[in-house]
Amino acid sequence: MHELRKDLLLGRWVVVLKDSKGPDYYYIPSPEETGECLLCQEKSFSKEILRIGEVDSWKVKVIPNPEPVLRVEGELGRRGVGIYDAMNSVGANEIIIESPYHDKTPEELGLEQMRAVIEAYKLRIEDLHKDARLRYVLVYKNHGRLAGAQFNHPHSSVMATPIIPKRLKEELDGAKQYYGYKERCIFCDIMHEEISKVSRIVLETSHMIAFCPFAPRFPFEVWIMPKRHNCAFQETSKEELDDLSHIMIELLRKLKALFGDLPYNYVLHTAPNRIPRRNHWHTLGDDFHWHIEFMPRLQRTGGFEWGSGFYILQTSPEDAAKFLREV
């Protein structure tokens, strides 16, 4: 019999199929290269928001997105349109160029390069939180056209929004509710459960853990979180960031060994900007725990998933963790 599983945090259900499939089941078309790469043409950058490294031997650069969806300038202009709500597209839309080389990813360049990328995440969140109009700073990566990547050049993205995105809001509310009921952090509870069960653990270091969640949305989905309870990514210690860089490299290498150059997304879920609505977030420091959700895009999302929010897993998280551990 297949198994229905419920996600503890969001209450979302998934179906884990009984005859769990191995990596060969997922076919990934090779990425096609089209046109000239905008991120290789440094002369055309309108502005450099951040640079890690020297002018002519830089590691990571952050630039405004050349095709921004949100803009930093202007007022929010909240308004009613009939019974509906609208506001101006104020926010920040940045590209983190993860490598000076078009065809060398941070995990190929090694620990120091990955560390510089992670450092850029931290510095951008810190900086954007100074703008009280921005309620949430989402750092994410789309790799490969099938995962929605805008460029083929190694890059991550930053999107700072004047509202808290719905998915985040659900997570923050779920965590707050669990804390209200149990007076414990749901993520710490999940982590202790995973460490004691072992079967879904992919990687573990002194400060970090990577595991396949019990009820994921995607086959081979992996969550990475710090062992020390901490709601805000920008408050992560140097040692934790070193460990995270190591885990990211190992995980990407493992996925590549199983699937080749696969399309994937990852998102960094951290605390919202607490400067606006300071009183709203009084238990946030205790109830939320930053983490990275890593989603390989091995399958297209179909009508059932879109229509119901109910996901079908062709590979169980226990098997996925085993394949990832053993490769």
Q: Per CB under 5 A, which of residues 51..90 are in contact with Zn ion?
A: none
The answer to the question of residue 39 lying near Zn ion (CB under 5 A) is yes
Closest separation in Å from C-beta 120 to Zn ion: 17
Find out whether 244 and 144 touch, Cβ atoms under 8 Å: no
Q: Rounded CA gap, 208 and 194, in Å? A: 13
Q: Which of 135, 153, 200, 217 binds Zn ion (CB under 5 A)?
A: 153
- Considering beta carbons, is residue 219 or 226 the nearer one to Zn ion? 226
For Zn ion, the closer CB: 22 or 148? 148
Smallest gap, in angstroms, from Cβ of residue 17 to Zn ion? 24
Please choose, out of 77-85, 168-176, 242-250, 278-286, the segment that lies near Zn ion by the rule CB under 5 A.
Answer: 168-176
Select 59 or 289, whichever has its Cβ closest to Zn ion.
289
Residue 10 lies near Zn ion (rule: CB under 5 A): no
- CB neighbours of residue 239 within 10 Å: 13
- β-pairing, 311-313 vs 13-16, is parallel
Considering only 8, 28, 163, 188, the residue that binds Zn ion (CB under 5 A) is: 188
Binding piece for Zn ion, criterion CB under 5 A, among 18-26, 151-159, 207-215, 233-241: 151-159
124 binds Zn ion (CB under 5 A): no
Give yes or no for a contact between 56 and 100, defined as CB atoms under 8 angstroms apart.
no
Shortest gap between Cβ of 11 and Zn ion (angstroms)?
14
Our CB check for Zn ion shows the closer of 90 and 240 to be 240
Please tell me the number of Cα atoms within 13 Å of 241 on its side-chain side. 19
Quote the Cα angle for 144-146-149, to 5°: 45
> Counting beta carbons within 10 angstroms of the beta carbon of residue 107, is it exposed (0 to 12), middle (13 to 18) or buried (19 or more)?
buried
- Residues 306-325 binding Zn ion (CB under 5 A) are none
Alpha helices in 214-314 (DSSP H): 238-259, 284-287, 303-308
| Least Cβ distance, residue 169 to Zn ion (angstroms) | 11
CB of 125 within 8 A of CB of 270?
yes
- Which one, of 253, 251, 260, lies nearest residue 223 by Cα? 251
Size of the site for Zn ion (CB under 5 A): 12
Q: Which is nearer to Zn ion, 21 or 31 (CB)?
A: 31
Q: How far is the CB of 148 from Zn ion (least distance, A)?
A: 17
Give 71 or 229: the residue with its C-beta nearer to Zn ion.
229
192 part of the interface to Zn ion, by CB under 5 A: no
Q: Which of residues 232-291 bind Zn ion (CB under 5 A)?
A: 269, 289
Window of 91-99, 153-161, 256-264, 273-281 that interacts with Zn ion by CB under 5 A:
153-161
CA atoms within 13 A of residue 51's CA, in its CB half-sphere: 11
Stretch of 23-31, 56-64, 142-150, 183-191 lying at the interface with Zn ion (CB under 5 A): 183-191
Residue 312 CA to residue 308 CA, distance in Å, equals 11
Give CA–CA dist 300/147, Å, rounded: 10
Cβ at position 280, least distance to Zn ion in Å: 19
**Measured from the CB of residue 2, what is the shortest distance to Zn ion in angstroms?**
25
Can you tell me whether residue 210 is helix, strand or coil?
strand
Q: Look up residue 215 and give its DSSP letter.
A: S
Between the alpha carbon of residue 188 and those of residues 180, 191, 214, the distances in Å are 15, 5, 15
Contact window for Zn ion (CB under 5 A) among 20-28, 44-52, 79-87, 179-187: 179-187
Q: Which residues bind Zn ion (CB under 5 A)?
A: 37, 39-40, 102, 153, 171, 185, 187-188, 229, 269, 289
